[in-house]
Amino acid sequence: MTTYLAGIDFNAPSHEVARLLIGVTVLVDGVGGRIVETEAYDREDPASHTYNGPTERNAAMFGPPAHAYVYRSYGIHWCLNFVCREAGHGAGVLIRAIEPLHGLETMAARRKLDDPRLLTSGPGRVCQALGITREHNGKSLALPPFQLLPRDAVALELPVAAGPRIGISKAMDTPWRFGVARSPYLSKPFR
């Protein structure tokens, strides 16, 4: 069985899904924007939460594709992943940054900031701006409150850069971070 959403085959390897997600619009209760930065994680990947097999925390990553995996980071922030591959595989894509386009006032209120460059430029910031918490863990990306919109003509032309992932201490050389080159909404520029 194949799982398509927003024109993307979520059964594909996570590094392919991560690249294809650049330019896709993600909304939570109508609030969000265009994805400009992602990172891929897979089962045979020392940096992945699924590397050592299923646990209570990472259960959603071993669930069906095109669902959310939300985890707490550093005891303070939430981080959002899109599960990919077939159910039971244990792969996903971390949503690291979006270009804020819909519900700017809501996002600014949640973040207590109004500089659009600081609204959603990082995985913790994205979740705070979109109101994502543990309650969204395991939910389908095809159903409310989530909404994924396919890349439009503009999004298809965005220049995609790749590089090493951020904030990890293993598999530092795997170039599984993807993003819109030179976008002002990245958590960190590409070199």
CA distance readout (Å), 173 to 29, 60, 163 = 37, 26, 9
Distance CA 107, CA 111 (A): 6
Nearer to DNA, 109 or 150 (CB): 109
Residue pair 146/3 in contact (Cβ under 8 Å)? The answer is no
Q: Does 27 bind DNA (CB under 7 A)?
A: no
Distance CA 23, CA 189 (A): 17
Q: Which residues pair with 39 in a beta bridge?
A: 94, 177
From the CB of residue 40, how many other CB atoms can be counted at a distance below 10 Å? 28
Interface mask (CB under 7 A) for DNA, residues 59-98, using x and -? --x-------x--xxxxxx-x-x----------x-x----
Q: How far is the CB of 59 from DNA (least distance, A)?
A: 9
Q: How many positions of this chain bind DNA (CB under 7 A)?
A: 37
Residue from 7, 44, 55, 144 that binds DNA (CB under 7 A)?
Answer: 55
Q: Does 149 bind DNA (CB under 7 A)?
A: no
Nearer to DNA, 153 or 169 (CB): 169
Q: How far is the CB of 112 from DNA (least distance, A)?
A: 8
Distance CA 179, CA 163 (A): 9
Residues that bind DNA (CB under 7 A): 39, 41, 47-50, 52, 55-58, 61, 69, 72-77, 79, 81, 92, 94, 111, 113, 118, 122-126, 165-169, 187
